[in-house]
């Protein structure tokens, strides 16, 4: 049976990405551990994406609140505004938007960085200098992305809620403490924990796909551009797929 | 784990013994058979040039020698070790004695010149003090005449300077064998000539053996003790520059026009 070329291409890509992930998982626990490089990457990845994530999170909280208000007024439940916004941000919008921004910023830069290291033989040079480039480059970056994204999501959530608080205060006043009491009274642990857990997977996807695309970049400057680009596209799609899967899991476990 | 003293090669090597022996080497990528039953011997102290057209598999050949590519079949013996079957740690020990000057320099562009040079020293587990590291970095940079660039980034340097820094990084472990992948490609003739002079100075100072890949005839003429013409994946002709220059064979002649 002859599969159509595009289908075969897709399956090959999925297969080699899975193999790459397998290699990542087995490399984590084997020495030598590149601790220094890992912490450097945590700093670089967190620091580089924080301003953008803070800005978008703030705007999103503010706009979401302003958009929801008329509908809630129409149903006569304006007092539920903080609770509504809080749930929307913490459960879904915060993690997903932060992950998408993260993919755009970090996924592309990892893809471009490793891609250019590949085409200029820097990865080969590492290998002959007593260094396992997979551990030094891929494991450190993927782990750093995986650990930093949940932290960034929490920060982004907090900033979004602050934006929402300002949004509520544009028309009609509420105190800071009243707003946050209303938000958190309506949030259960089961709202926050699954969102937190899925952001680890979002981070894993962004880091791993950025590394994969860069590590197998084709020759030439064009190849590097393509790596960066497809790192973002593929990671973004996978973020939504993980999101879809996560909601099925929480649903099945009855943690809604 | 190596110490510095163990690592530095003896100053008076026994000349003539083979340091690299390749036989029956085959390597293909899919249907593209790049190397077919290739063979060569590099003797201690010798400078051997592999001459071949672009895309003829010269880089594939030296990447097999250093274990970056696994050949399909054949034997590659480097400093008495069979590279194709070596375990990881043993392979690293051989790699520490073999310098590789990459065609695209492969300088780490996120690191300064100093960090680039320190990288192989620190990563090969050689127990050295910071003082020794500083001294070795300084000496390697002086060897290539670029001591003043120590705190610069690779992107701030010209193409010829980058090549020289890459050579300094190759020299820092005092390799017994140096593999040069097209050392003058992409450089203007004058800068290319400077690199050729450096290759000869390095030879004088360290007495290292070298495998030089090139199709720059100036480089071949000035550096080679012996030349192997790589053609259609095979060692097509062997000889010194003068004899090959007089050859009537069209496969050889094409390079000397
Ligand atoms: N990693 C690889 N995968 C597939 N083909 C390769 C790879 N590396 C080299 N080749 C092919 O091997 C041939 C020789 O390449 P190379 O050794 O780089 O040539 P050159 O003699 O110019 O250095 C080329 O046809 C190239 O396409
Ligand atoms: Mg080449």
Ligand 1 pocket test: which of B57, B58, B230 has the largest number of ligand atoms within 8 Å of its C-beta? B57
pLDDT exceeds cutoff 80 at A237: yes
Give the closest ligand to the alpha carbon of residue B34: 1
Contacts of B108 in chain A (CB under 8 A): 117, 122, 125
Question: Which mutation among B26, B53, B59, B212 tests ligand 1's pocket best, with the greatest number of atoms within 8 A of CB?
Answer: B59
Instruction: Give the burial class of A15: count Cβ atoms within 10 A of its Cβ; 0-12 exposed, 13-18 middle, 19 or more buried.
Output: exposed
Q: What does chain A come to in residues? A: 256
**Phi, psi dihedral angles at A82 (to 5 degrees):** -60, -40
* Distance from Cα B41 to the centre of ligand 2, integer Å: 20
State pLDDT tens for residues A181-191. Answer: 988 888 888 88
B159 Cβ below 6 A of ligand 1: no
pLDDT at A31: 87
Instruction: Name every chain B residue with its beta carbon within 8 A of the beta carbon of A127.
Output: 68
Per-residue pLDDT for chain B (257 aa), expressed as one digit of tens each?
445 555 554 444 456 799 999 999 999 999 999 999 999 999 999 999 999 999 999 999 999 999 999 999 999 999 999 999 999 889 999 999 999 999 999 999 999 999 999 999 988 866 888 999 999 999 999 999 999 999 999 999 999 999 999 999 999 999 999 999 999 999 999 999 999 999 999 999 999 999 999 989 999 999 999 999 999 999 999 999 999 989 889 888 888 87
What separation, in Å, do the N-terminal and C-terminal C-alpha atoms of chain B show?
50
Contact B97, B149 (CB under 8 A): no
- Per the CB < 8 Å rule, is A122 touching B106? yes
Tell which of A125, A137, A219, A221 to mutate to test the B interface (max B CBs under 10 Å): A125
3-state SS, residue B231: strand
Fold classification of B19-97+176-257 (topology level) = Rossmann fold (3.40.50)
- pLDDT tens sequence across A34-85: 999 999 999 999 999 999 999 999 999 999 999 999 999 999 888 899 999 9
Q: Which of these, A149, A166, A127, A121, lies nearest to A210 by C-alpha position?
A: A149
* Among chain B residues, CA nearest to A116: B109
How close A36 comes to chain B (CA, Å)? 13
- How are beta strands B47-51 and B177-181 bridged, if at all? unpaired
Query: A84: which 2 tokens?
Result: 């509504």
Helix (H, G, I), strand (E, B) or coil at B77: strand
**How far is residue B119's CA from residue B99's CA, in Å, rounded to a whole number?**
13
Rg for chain B, CA atoms, rounded: 18
What would the mean pLDDT of A125-153 be, rounded to a whole number? 96
Question: Is the Cβ of A175 closer than 8 Å to some Cβ of chain B?
Answer: no
B95 touches chain A (CB under 8 A): yes
Say which residues have a Cβ less than 8 Å from residue B192's Cβ, sequence separation at least 6. B184, B216, B218, B219
Q: Where are the beta strands (DSSP E) in chain A?
A: none
The pLDDT-based confidence of A199 (bands split at 50, 70, 90) is very high
Mean pLDDT (chain A) is: 93
Q: Which of A115, A124, A128 should be substituted to probe chain B, the one whose Cβ sees the most B Cβ atoms within 10 Å?
A: A128
Predicted pLDDT at B11: 43
- CA-CA distance, B59 to B73, in Å (whole number)? 17
More confident residue, A144 or B241: A144
Report whether B101 contacts B173 (CB < 8 A): no
User: What ipTM does this complex have?
Assistant: 0.91
**Predicted local confidence at residue A151, as pLDDT:** 97
Probe residue for ligand 1, chosen from B25, B26, B27, B29 as the CB with the greatest number of ligand atoms within 8 Å = B29
Of A113, A121, A130, the CB nearest to B102: A121
Q: What residues does B237 pair with on adjacent strands? A: B229
Annotated domain spans of chain B: 19-97+176-257, 106-174
Residue of chain A nearest B96, judged by CA positions: A129
Answer whether B238's CB lies under 8 Å from B228's CB.
yes
């Amino acid at each position: 049976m002859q599969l159509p070329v595009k289908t075969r291409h897709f399956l090959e890509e999925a297969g080699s990405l899975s193999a790459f992930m397998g290699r990542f998982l087995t490399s984590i626990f084997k020495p030598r551990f590149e601790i220094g490089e890992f912490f450097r990457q945590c700093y670089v990845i967190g620091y580089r994406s924080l301003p953008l994530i803070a800005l978008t999170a703030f705007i999103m909280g503010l706009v979401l609140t302003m958009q929801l208000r008329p509908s809630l007024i129409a149903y006569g439940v304006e007092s539920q505004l903080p609770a509504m916004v809080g749930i929307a941000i913490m459960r879904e919008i915060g993690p997903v938007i932060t992950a998408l921004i993260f993919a755009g910023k970090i996924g592309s830069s990892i893809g471009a960085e490793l891609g250019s290291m590949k085409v200029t033989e820097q990865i080969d040079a590492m290998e002959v200098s007593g260094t396992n480039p997979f551990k030094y480059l891929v494991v450190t970056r993927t782990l750093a992305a995986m650990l930093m994204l949940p932290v960034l999501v929490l920060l982004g959530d907090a900033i979004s809620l602050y934006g929402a608080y300002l949004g509520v205060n544009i028309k009609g006043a509420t105190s800071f403490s009243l707003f946050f009491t209303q938000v958190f009274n309506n949030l259960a642990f089961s709202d926050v924990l699954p969102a937190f857990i899925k952001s680890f997977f979002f981070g894993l996807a962004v880091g791993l796909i950025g590394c994969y695309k860069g590590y197998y970049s084709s020759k030439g400057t064009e190849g590097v551009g393509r790596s960066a680009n497809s790192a973002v596209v593929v990671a973004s799609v996978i973020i939504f797929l993980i999101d879809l899967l996560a909601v099925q899991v929480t649903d099945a476990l009855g943690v809604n | 784990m190596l110490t510095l003293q163990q690592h530095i090669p003896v100053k008076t090597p026994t000349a003539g013994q083979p340091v690299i022996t390749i036989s029956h080497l085959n390597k293909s990528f899919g249907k593209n058979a790049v190397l077919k039953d290739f063979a060569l011997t590099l003797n201690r102290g010798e400078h051997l040039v592999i001459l071949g057209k672009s895309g003829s598999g010269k880089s594939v050949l030296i990447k097999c020698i250093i274990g970056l590519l696994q050949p399909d079949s054949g034997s590659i013996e480097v400093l008495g070790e069979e590279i194709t079957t070596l375990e990881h740690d043993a392979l690293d020990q051989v790699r520490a004695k073999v310098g590789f000057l990459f065609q695209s320099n492969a300088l780490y562009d996120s690191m300064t010149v100093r960090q680039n040079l320190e990288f192989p020293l620190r990563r090969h587990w050689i127990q050295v003090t910071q003082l020794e590291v500083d001294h070795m970095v300084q000496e390697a940079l002086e060897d290539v005449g670029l001591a003043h660039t120590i705190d610069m980034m690779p992107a701030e340097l010209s193409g010829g300077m980058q090549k020289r820094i890459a050579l300094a990084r190759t020299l820092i472990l005092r390799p017994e064998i140096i593999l040069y992948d097209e050392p003058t490609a992409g450089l203007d003739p004058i800068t290319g000539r400077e690199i050729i002079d450096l290759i000869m100075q390095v030879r004088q100072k360290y007495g290292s053996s070298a495998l030089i890949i090139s199709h720059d005839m100036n480089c071949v003429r000035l550096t080679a003790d012996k030349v192997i013409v790589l053609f259609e994946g095979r060692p097509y002709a062997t000889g010194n520059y003068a004899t090959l220059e007089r050859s009537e064979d069209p496969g050889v002649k094409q390079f000397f026009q």
